[in-house]
Structures are given as C-alpha cells and as structure tokens.
Structure 1
Amino acid sequence: MLKLPFLLTLFSLSVLSAEEPFGRQVSETGVRHSFLLAGATTALISEEGEVLWKTPGKARDGFVLENNNVLVTIGNVAKEFAEGTQDVVWSYQLHKDNQELGSAVRLANGNTLVVERGENPRLLEIDPKGEPVVEVPLQPETERIHMQTRMARKLPNGNYLVPHLLAFAVKEYTAEGKVVRTIRTDLEEWGGREAKTWPFTAIHLENGNTLVNLTNGNRTAEFDSEGKLVWSLSNKEVGGRFADPCGGQRLPNGNTVICSYGQKNGEMPRVFEVDRAGKVVWEFFHPSVGGAHEIHVLTTNGEALGKPLK
C-alpha cells in the first residue's frame, strides 16, 4: 500500500507544479488516475494530468515502491530514484556478457528481479548491495536477442512467470530453470502463429489466472491455471485502440489498463482502460508522447490502489 505521505505529496505537487499539463484523461464516468508512465517518456502524472516527476531516457519497466522511490529500467541499467529526485540510491548494470536488460521488480524479500537478454538469457535476483543471489537460465527458443523475453514476474509459490515472444509462450520456471507450465498464445481460433500474438505481459492474478497482453497481434487475454483461454479482447471490441499493446495492469475493480506502445495517431489514446465487457471507461491522450511501454496506476479518484497486479 502506498503511504499517506506520498498521497499528500502527490496532490500538493499537482497544485504547485509549474509543468504544463501532460496530456489529458478522458472518462464519461469521471475516472481519474495518477500513474507512473514508463517508455519514451518516463514520468509520474497526477490525476490532474500534471508532471510530478520525470527522468530522461526510455524506460522498459517501472514501479513506484512502498518507500515512494521510483524503480525503472532505462537503457541497460535498473535504477531506484529517491522520491521526487534524480538521486540514484540503488542500481544494477547489465552484465557484459549480455545485450539487453528488461524487467525490474522489487520483491517482497528486498531483492530486485531483473531479466537479461543475450547469449546467456536469464533471470536474476539482485540483493540490496547490487549482487546477484539467484540466477535462473531461460529458454526463449530464439536467437533474436531483442525478442527473447519481456515482462517477467515472480509468483507467490517462488517460481517465475516469463513471456517469450517468438516462442508464443508464457513459461513458468522453477528457481533451477525447469519449465513446469506453459501457456500457449498461438491459438488456432486467433489464426495461429500468422496472427503474431506474441506475449508481452504475464500478470499473475489473485484467482490464479494469468493476464497477457499480446503485442503485434493486438489482443489482451486471460488464461486459467491450466492455460485455457477464459477471456480476451481484440480491436474489434475496442474500436481499434490496440496498437502493439505492451504493459498493462489489472485494477482492483477488475478492469484492465493497457499501454498501446505502437500508437502513432494523436487522436487515439496512448493508454486505455476497459471493463470485462470490453467497454472503454478511461483513456489517456497525448499528441506527441509515443512509446507507452509500461504503466503503474497509483490512485483512482484520490484512493490508493495498493499492491499492483502488473
């Protein structure tokens, strides 16, 4: 749960900020979110649409931590910034033997989960001193380094959930690197592999299901613990708002927030929220900000959301 001082700071800064409004939020029912946006622009946005904090660089993953610091992966470095500053209080640099650093997630044990892509694709848990203490070899089934993995997360059972784009699979790994479960995303009903339903997110839900954004194939889907499809949406249901969906989040009310990373049309939202029926209930527009890679929604209409499912 986000601490009360953060909320007080958030709303006081939204009044005092000298920044120009950062885009606009649209909702017929009056939904307003504050959120951390990670991507071509990496910034913390108030419910009023003002920039509360930002940092240079293109981020791949991002969280506001319980201590109100911001953890992001920018370039090939995972960085934790002290609240409201550019002061880096923790970091991890990609190992020289690999080429790309992906996810960065602060775990309950205090370690930080990161993903390295390259000749030695792997998950690492990095301790507070910046040292690797857990290494999990990955099986991406491709030599295309950039397409090996995306948003990996740790499960409550201690295993790891990893989306592999060109394998059309979300795989559950043990700490030893054994694959114990695979969720296939090249479903025949979607057109098989020709539909390019590459998994980008792998979000473990409280009911045991997994929420997956399928980049390029322009879908979001939910699978049960056995890998059976139980819910999905495509551009047919959301009026063409999917454009290379990358990051996302399941909200406490059951709605899903989706980042359209590839959206170039300034008349279409960079991020949008849908309910279970596929109705769009909230949108974030900005004419010049592309590359919305990941999002962490913090509050809705002044209420903190707690631990994110993202």
Structure 2
Amino acid sequence: MKRFLISASIFSLLLFASSASAKHRVLLHGKSGLQIIEKDGSTSWQMAFGGIHDIHVLDNGNVMVQRNMSEVVEIDHNSKKIVWSYNSRTQNGNEGKRLEVHAFQPLKNGNVMIAESGVGRIIEVNRDGEIVKETKLVVDNPHPHRDTRLARQLENGNYLVCHEGDGKIREYDSKSGNVIWEYEVPLFQDRAGGHGPEAYGNQAFSALRLKNGNTLIGCGNGHAVLEVTPEKKIVWQIRQKDLEGIVLAWVTTLEVLP
C-alpha cells in the first residue's frame, strides 16, 4: 500500500496528524506559525512566523524556511534566532527586480539551492552568499508569483521544478540546463476561479521523484495527487473526493513516508 503525506492549503495535516495512531513527528506551518507536532499530537516547539511555501529541518536541528517570499533563513531551534540568511531581492544582481522565492533546498555539500521566480533561474549559493551555480529556467508564461512552486534537486543532480503558471513539471539537466523531461498536468474538468475546493486548474505545486523512477505530483488547484511514469502514464491517483470524509483543496506539499 502506498503511504504518502499530503498537505493542502486548508488542512495543516490531512492524513495522520492528531490521531492516536500517528507514527511521525511533523514540522508544519499553521495559523499560529511554525510548529513541531509530536506523535501524540502535542506541540513541542512553536514560533510565530508569516506565511511560507517551503520548509526544511537541518541535520543540526535548526529550521530553514523562507521569509517574505524572498529570503531564506536558518532559525536556531533553541534560541529561535536567525543565524543565517540569503535575500534574493537584494543580493547578486537582483536589486530592484520583481521576484519571489517559493522553493529552496539545503544541499548535502552545505550549499543552498534557491528557485527565483521572476528572474527565471535556479541558483546554488554557499554560506557566504556567493552563487556557485546558476541554471536558467524555461517559462512559457512568466510572472514573479507563478513561475515556480516547489523545486528539488534529484539524486542525479538534476532539478525537478514545478511551474505553476505553465501547469507543467520540468526536469532540468544539472550540467547543460536543458529540459530533459516535461509533464503537463492534465485538466479533468473546466477551470474555475477561487482558492478553496470550488476552484479548479492545473497549477501544480509539488513533485517528487520516487525510487521506482515515477514522479509523484501535488496538483495544486487540481485537488489531486498523481503518480506518473517516465512515459507520462498515470498509474496511481487520489482525486478530490476519493478519501472518505475529506475534500481536498489546493494540494501542496507531498512527502513519501518510510
């Protein structure tokens, strides 16, 4: 049986959070800010914080998160103070440009990957704030708020990027920067406006490459999770009302559980 954690915009946790059978600690952002929820449903850590789209826990226990849709910050777990930051709006040639940061990733080599919407690039920066790598993105419908959502570096070094405005998932070769795989998120019904369950579109939010080579996609306002093969065939899916007692709305972050 496939086991995934799904997050949607109107549910902090959908599939396991507060039940007595929960088996995982969870770091999340809710109405009261950042929180760590223990297996028993209790809150062991929390911090007031504005809205986010991406978040990571570092090996040292610190939390790395985006701030003001432009800055990546590392927060000391104990003191709750910011101990490192990188601001895409003010550093490395972006001053005065319209851009937003919706995705970033701490890398194994200590650098941080950041997807910059508006200027259409992925950069890797070191802890001194220097760009050590830059990859241009392909964007059909450029907009600072919609160029990208989540992006991840794969085990092979390539980048898997969700292009919200284009409704597409693209894999970029890490060396050439070329798009080597692309998937257009399907529309299963007519588009509809809004930000709740009544909305509909193909504004993909997240994508993960599974161990079997398939790609797991959080379809945003498509209210679905799709697993697609390299040949772009859908082999597994959860649609908006497939789960008893749950109506999905704007499916965002996905995580594969152990």
TM-score, normalised with respect to structure 2: 0.80
Offset of 1:32 from its aligned partner?
A: 4.2
Offset of 1:25 from its aligned partner?
A: 4.1
CA contact (8 A) 1:25 1:49 kept: no
**Cα separation, 2, equivalents of 1:193 and 1:211:** 22
- The residue aligned with 2:63 is 70
1:46 to 38, 42, 52: 38
Corresponding letter in the other structure for 1:116:
E
1:222 to 227, 233, 255: 227
Alignment of 1:237-252 (within 5 A): 237-239=242-244, 240-252=246-258
Corresponding letter in the other structure for 2:141:
T
CA RMSD of aligned residues (A): 2.1
Offset of 1:160 from its aligned partner?
A: 0.3
CA contact (8 A) 1:45 1:53 kept: no
Offset of 1:81 from its aligned partner?
A: 1.2
- The residue aligned with 2:139 is 140
**Cα separation, 2, equivalents of 1:168 and 1:104:** 20
CA contact (8 A) 1:39 1:60 kept: no
- The residue aligned with 2:27 is 36
**Aligned-pair identity (%):** 32
Question: For each residue in 1:203-255, what CA deviation from the matched residue of structure 2 results, as whole angstroms up to 9, or x when unmatched?
Answer: 12122211111111100111122322111111221144311111121111xxx
Alignment of 1:1-310 (within 5 A): 25-27=17-19, 30-38=21-29, 41-47=33-39, 48-75=41-68, 76-95=70-89, 96=95, 97-118=97-118, 120-175=119-174, 176-186=176-186, 190-191=188-189, 196-239=201-244, 240-252=246-258
**Cα separation, 2, equivalents of 1:178 and 1:193:** 30
**Cα separation, 2, equivalents of 1:210 and 1:86:** 35
**Cα separation, 2, equivalents of 1:38 and 1:25:** 13
**Cα separation, 2, equivalents of 1:36 and 1:26:** 13
**Cα separation, 2, equivalents of 1:81 and 1:111:** 16
CA contact (8 A) 1:53 1:84 kept: no
**Cα separation, 2, equivalents of 1:84 and 1:35:** 17
CA contact (8 A) 2:120 2:138 kept: yes
Moved more, 237-246 or 66-75: 237-246
CA contact (8 A) 2:113 2:123 kept: yes
Partner SS state of residue 105, structure 1? strand
Deviant stretches of 4+, over 6 Å:
none
Structure 1 residues 67 and 128, CA gap change in structure 2 (3 angstroms): same
CA contact (8 A) 2:151 2:207 kept: yes
Offset of 1:192 from its aligned partner?
A: 7.4
**Cα separation, 2, equivalents of 1:174 and 1:192:** 33
CA contact (8 A) 2:67 2:73 kept: yes
Corresponding letter in the other structure for 2:111:
N
Q: Which has the higher strand share?
A: 1
Offset of 1:51 from its aligned partner?
A: 4.2
Q: Which has the higher helix share?
A: 1
**Cα separation, 1, equivalents of 2:226 and 2:55:** 22
Offset of 1:177 from its aligned partner?
A: 2.5
TM-score, normalised with respect to structure 1: 0.67
CA contact (8 A) 2:98 2:144 kept: no
Corresponding letter in the other structure for 1:71:
M
**Cα separation, 1, equivalents of 2:150 and 2:237:** 19
